[in-house]
Amino acid sequence: MRVFSGIRASGDKTLGNYSGGFRQYVATQDEAAADGGEAFFCVVDLHSITTPIEPAVLRESTLSVAAWLFAFGLDQQRSTVFVQSQVVAHAEAAWLLGAVSSFGELRRMTQFKEKSEGQEFVSAALFNYPVLMAGDILLYQADVVPIGDDQRQHLELSRTIAERFNLRYGETFVVPRGAYPREGARIRNLQEPDRLMSTSRGAPQGVVRLVDSPDIIRRKFKTAVTDSGREIVHDPEAKPGISNLIEILAVASGESIADIEARYEDHGYGQFKQDVGEAVVELLAPYQQRYAELRADDAELRRMLAVGAQKAATAAQPTLDRMYERMGFAR
Ligand code: TYM
């Protein structure tokens, strides 16, 4: 089993990234190790420049996201953790795969529509973003891609691109499948439960950041919007606010949704919200501490990433060479 996933270097990472991203990376790292496979996790800094970002912010958030990857439990002995721009194969693969990706497919991507809407400047890079992502995955012949639900459409396009290349140029890529968490595949903004929890859009008060202090986290949950009625039941259509909080508690505590519903049968919203906040504070505290320790030594962090980049480059090169060869480049 080969695992690949990527996470953008931008903004502050959120509880949503933990749920769909970090915790799944650690779980799949363990599965891959148990299976004698390999796992690759990448800070995708090339993806970060698809929307405006200050150079200083890009530099800082690349190291910050890398530190979070290690803080949550990725282990250099078992996984390859690296920064995308340090492995040039990613940029090359994206260009080559652009030839088997259609304008119509890219134009239909929901994330492109959302991120370009109302913007004065929409970069060509934002449009091509899913092609770069397909290359990330396909270069490593990954079978499994742990992601949240918001990346489902991009993953499906990666599969289409792989199949099309294989058909046109001969079997070259493993066609990957997405791995989505059972609960918390789409954590929503606490103030606007119809929206994904994300730092780029939506009410900031409804976004739990991994760096938030315990008091800020408690306050955000205390003021989370709930729904009409009084029952604490999981019904995303009728009760999006409460259902989101139930999923967050399931993610933070490891309890099932049914157990949570049963436990809170006779409780009101106020107590429930307070408990969810407390569970998140407890969940994050040890990781925040580990993150701070890692950030105290950026030189060591850089060294770890350099090791990862070398391993990743070695793993990606044979596939890139095959792509050039199959497409007919005289090299
Ligand atoms: P990114 O950096 O936006 O998010 C990283 C991971 O976090 C998940 N996620 C969420 N999961 C649940 N609820 C949420 N509210 C939430 N918000 C974010 C995302 O689904 C993702 O798994 N395009 C990707 C990065 C990427 C990539 C790849 C991923 C580039 N190349 C190759 C996998 C494979 C992105 O922008 O994720």
- B/e letters for 141-165, b = 16+ CB within 10 Å, e = fewer, are bbbbbbbbbbbeebbebbbbbbebb
Comma-separated ranges of CATH 1.10.240.10 domains in the chain: 204-292
What is the 63 CA–ligand 1 centroid distance (Å)?
17
How many C-beta atoms lie closer than 10 Å to residue 170's C-beta? 9
Give the tens place of pLDDT for each residue, 227-284: 888 999 999 999 999 999 999 999 999 999 999 999 999 999 999 999 999 999 999 9
159 lines ligand 1 (CB under 6 A): no
- Out of 5, 7, 138, mutate this one to test ligand 1's pocket (max ligand atoms within 8 Å of CB): namely 7
What is the 40 CA–ligand 1 centroid distance (Å)?
15
- Given this model, what pLDDT does residue 201 score? 86
- Given this model, what pLDDT does residue 156 score? 98
Topology annotation, domain 204-292: Tyrosyl-Transfer RNA Synthetase (1.10.240)
> pTM of the predicted model, to two decimals?
0.97
Q: At a CB cut-off of 8 Å and minimum separation 6, what does 59 contact?
A: none
Residue 154 pLDDT grade (very low, low, confident, very high; cuts 50, 70, 90): very high
pLDDT > 70: percent of the chain: 100
- Out of 2, 14, 15, 17, mutate this one to test ligand 1's pocket (max ligand atoms within 8 Å of CB): namely 17
Residue 28 pLDDT grade (very low, low, confident, very high; cuts 50, 70, 90): very high
What is the 223 CA–ligand 1 centroid distance (Å)?
26
Residue nearest to atom 16 of ligand 1 (CA): 16
Topology annotation, domain 2-180+298-327: Rossmann fold (3.40.50)
Q: At a CB cut-off of 8 Å and minimum separation 6, what does 51 contact?
A: 10, 115, 123, 126, 200
Residue 200 pLDDT grade (very low, low, confident, very high; cuts 50, 70, 90): confident
Comma-separated ranges of CATH 3.40.50.620 domains in the chain: 2-180+298-327
